[in-house]
Structure 1
Amino acid sequence: MSDGFVARSLDEIRFWSRIMKEHSLFLKLGFRCEDTQLIQEADYFFALFEGIENKAHSYSLETDPKVIERFNVKVYKAVSQIWAFKRKVLGLVLTCQLPGANNFPLLIDHISREANYFRNRLKELNTGTLDPLPDAIINENVFFLRIMADHAKFIAHLLDPSERKLVEQARSFSHDFDQLLFQARDLESMSPQSQTVPLLDQFLDQNRVSVKSLRDFKKTARELIEACRIKSIIHPLLADHVFREAERFLTIIDMFEQHLNAQTR
């Protein structure tokens, strides 16, 4: 246990607990009026993760690592609960038990994947079993490239069909990130032979360019939605939500780049 453990734990929890809280709201907004039990469960998870988020911000880098270790266990249990809730909702949608609800199956699967990612990260931190750098670079990019591809698909489907130019841009991003994801999985299947610094460096550079473009598109879309200048059914908070996740991915790419450069010195 070290200051690095505390910093990393608090960073992950502060970011992802807010994401989980917002997932609860988005699920609630997609339920039908008669889905009162599901709405109450979504409200429960919203309050649960709001409390976790607030608690995480009450800690500092000077907090005893043992306190953070116990906090990670508590958060892990909460994330496991919301993961199970999301998978339950996905099952209800896929078996046509919520006709007329407005949560896409892919969106529910998407947010459950993010919960599973968060849960795994907490376990890795507490057990000290984080991936070696080459594995981490590929695994994180495979995860986030799929997240970015999903975002583009959701934006294309939630914009009004009459917003033809923006819909086409979103579809173009979807195609771009699908291709990047295929390339990442190819690199993954070629491991460990593919894990050279030049290949990984190029991999990060290429992904950064596309993520920046998508991040800027999301920023513009968010501003247009907030100003009511485009037609869509995208909640302003959802627009900001997907923007923050793109920013998170860019931060991770930059961190990996710094570690790679440190290895070549």
Structure 2
Amino acid sequence: MTDPIVARSLDEIKFWSRIMKEHALFLSLGFTHDQDQLISEAQQFIAIFERIEERLARFSIHSDLQQIRMFNSEVYQAAAGIWNYKRKVLGLTLRCEIRSNNYPLLVDHISREAAYFANRLQELNRGELAPKPEAIIEENVFFLRIMADHAKFIGHLLDPSERKLVEQAREFSHDFDQLLFQAVDLESMRPQSETRPILSQFLNQNKVSVASLRDFKKTARELIEECRIKSNIHPLLADHTFREAERFLDIIELFENSLTGNTN
């Protein structure tokens, strides 16, 4: 019988290790040529997460739970390490000790994702799988902010002459800011299990908006890959943001199942 903690751990590590590796790559591409130490550190993290991906391939959903917990703990150290590195880069940037092409909000954004990954590994090692109502809202606050950030980054990295796409990105940014504010309001109300209809409506509203943004990202990714629009967006970054939107939709579905009692 498959242990759900094992299956979920492997899934989280598979998704987020690739994301962390790509974060390190994006940071390295944004540094100037004289920031060789920071570039070298980024490349070290690329290698660390590549090794994690190689080790991940040796496990399966039938692996021993204790082995997976040990692996989770090791990956946690890597996630915590890249979080520290990202926060260091953010501090250097905010103090104007370095100037690069990495937006401060982008560095903060990717550090939040590293913290999320590390926290998920700790939760799984504590055996926490099924979300509580308050966790559902907290998780949506996190991902709604991620989606709002993505829309802002896309808008700023598109060439200004791409007016229609820039305007679409701004509209998505505004929409997700509003959804985020609404989620924060709901979070402070602390709905309990008896308010499941409110949570269900909350999730459904978010799902519709995320699906729309996901489709926009998919179109943008295809246009970038085919060199049909002008931008400073790396094709891998376009795919990266698309995958994160897909991930959010998967998580919403997981939460919807938890509210209905379907944990399969």
* Normalised TM-score (structure 2): 0.96
CA contact 1:14–1:57 (8 Å) conserved in 2: no
Residue in 1 that maps onto 2:167: 168
Other-structure match for 1:61: 61
Aligned to 1:87: 87
What SS class does the counterpart of residue 219 from structure 2 fall into? helix
What do residues 39-77 of structure 1 show as CA deviations (whole Å, max 9, x unaligned)?
A: 100000001011112211221011111111100110011
The 5 A counterparts of 1:111-190 are 111-129=110-128, 132-190=131-189
**Other structure's SS at 1:63 match:** coil
Conserved 8 A contact 2:20-2:49: yes
Indicate yes or no: 2:219 matched with 1:220: yes
Cα separation, 2, equivalents of 1:40 and 1:203: 43
Partner of 1:98: 98
Contact 2:133 2:193 in 1 (8 A): no
* Residues 1:196 and 2:180 aligned together: no
1:41 equivalent to 2:47? Answer no
Instruction: For residue 130 of structure 1, report the CA deviation from its aligned partner.
Output: 5.1
Specify whether residues 79 and 187 from structure 1 end up closer, same or farther in structure 2 by C-alpha distance, changes over 3 A only: same
Per-residue CA shift, 1:164-203, capped at 9, x if unaligned?
Answer: 0000000000000000000000000001358611100100
CA distance, structure 2, for counterparts of residue 127 and residue 222 of structure 1: 38
C-alpha displacement of 1:261: 2.2
Pairwise mapping of residues 230-245 of structure 1 onto structure 2 (< 5 A)?
Answer: 230-245=229-244
Q: Does the 8 Å contact 2:24/2:42 carry over to 1?
A: yes
Q: In structure 2, what is the Cα distance between the partners aligned to 1:118 and 1:140?
A: 12
Shift of 1:262: 2.6
User: Which amino acid is the alignment partner of residue 191 of structure 1?
Assistant: R
1:11 aligns with 2:34: no
Task: Spell out structure 1 runs of 4+ moving beyond 6 A.
Answer: none
What's the secondary structure of 2:261's corresponding residue?
helix
Q: Deviations over 1:105-137 (max 9, x none)?
A: 000000000000000010111122457431221
> Quick one: structure 1 residues 8 and 112, their matched pair in 2 at CA, closer, same or farther if it must change by over 3 Å?
same
Percent identity between the aligned chains? 70
The amino acid across from 2:72 in the alignment is: N
Q: Does 1:107 align with 2:102?
A: no
For this pair of structures, how many residues does the alignment match? 261
Query: Structure 1 length normalisation: TM-score?
Result: 0.96
1:187–1:194 contact (8 Å) kept in structure 2: no
Residue 12 (structure 1) shift: 0.4
> Partners of 1:242 and 1:207 in 2: how far apart?
17
Label 1:155 to 1:141 Cα distance change in 2 as closer, same or farther (>3 A): same
1:27-46 Cα distance to aligned partner (Å, 9 max, x none): 00000000110110000000
In structure 2, what is the Cα distance between the partners aligned to 1:3 and 1:218? Answer: 34
8 A Cα contact 2:131 2:255, kept in partner = no
- 5+ unaligned residues in a row in structure 1: which ranges? none
The amino acid of 2:64's aligned partner reads D
CA distance in 1, matches of 2:231, 2:115: 30
- Residue segments in structure 2 that go unaligned for 5+ positions in a row: none
RMSD over aligned Cα, in angstroms? 1.3
| Residues 152, 194 of structure 1: alpha-carbon distance in 2 compared, 3 angstrom cutoff | farther
> Which piece of structure 1 moves more, 34-43 or 2-11?
2-11
Q: Secondary structure at the match of 1:43?
A: helix
Contact 1:156 1:166 in 2 (8 A): yes
Please tell me whether the aligned partners of residues 158 and 230 of structure 2 are also in contact (alpha carbons under 8 angstroms). Answer: yes
